[in-house]
Amino acid sequence: MNELLKPAVEKISKKFNAKVSEFRDEVTLLIPPEENTAVAAILRDEFDFDMLSALTAVDYYPQTTPRFHMVYIFYSTKNKVYLNVRAPLDGNEPSIKTMETVYPSANWREREVWDLFGIKFDGHSDLRRIMMPPDWVGHPLRKDYPLGWEEVQFTFNFDEIDARKPKGEK
């Protein structure tokens, strides 16, 4: 682990009972979801993580506990280090506190996560669709979202798929 990350990781893991993992020199903290803004404020104010580099989600469907992970990637421009933070969310209608109170740049990213994954951000100033049309039903990056796809043709299934394809009139 990078020596510059150790103080932040130790404080967050002790104060919030966060689980620490490290893979290929990337450190990830798994925090309780109700503490996401408190963790972010400490990282920003005490450890110079002045940039929320990324905010996204992961869907682990059909697993429901947790079904989602909110993923936050913080960056310190002073120390030039990244820190990954994840917060697990249960169920089909997950919610978490908005991060825009600590990092205003989270606004549009949270709207994107809401739009594509359906994770609600409590206290968000303008939680509405940003990628899909306003009348769209569902959240397309959820793993249980119905797919509209065409099966790929290979040499072993070419004739079978070709027979099912609609043909134009001659």
The model's pLDDT over 50-83, given as tens digits with 9 standing for 90+, comes to 999 999 999 999 888 999 999 999 999 999 999 9
Instruction: Give residue 115's pLDDT.
Output: 97
| Domains of the chain by start residue, with CATH | 6-164 (3.30.460.80)
- C-beta atoms surrounding 18 within 10 Å: 20
Contact 81, 2 (CB under 8 A): yes
**DSSP 8-state assignment for residue 131:** S
Exposure string for 60-87, b = 16+ CB within 10 A, e = fewer: eeeeeebbbbbbbbbbbeebebbbbbbb
Which is higher by pLDDT, 150 or 104? 104
Instruction: Give residue 154's pLDDT.
Output: 85
pLDDT tens per residue, range 100-139: 999 999 999 999 999 999 999 999 999 999 999 999 999 9
Instruction: Give residue 163's pLDDT.
Output: 86
Contact 59, 67 (CB under 8 A): yes
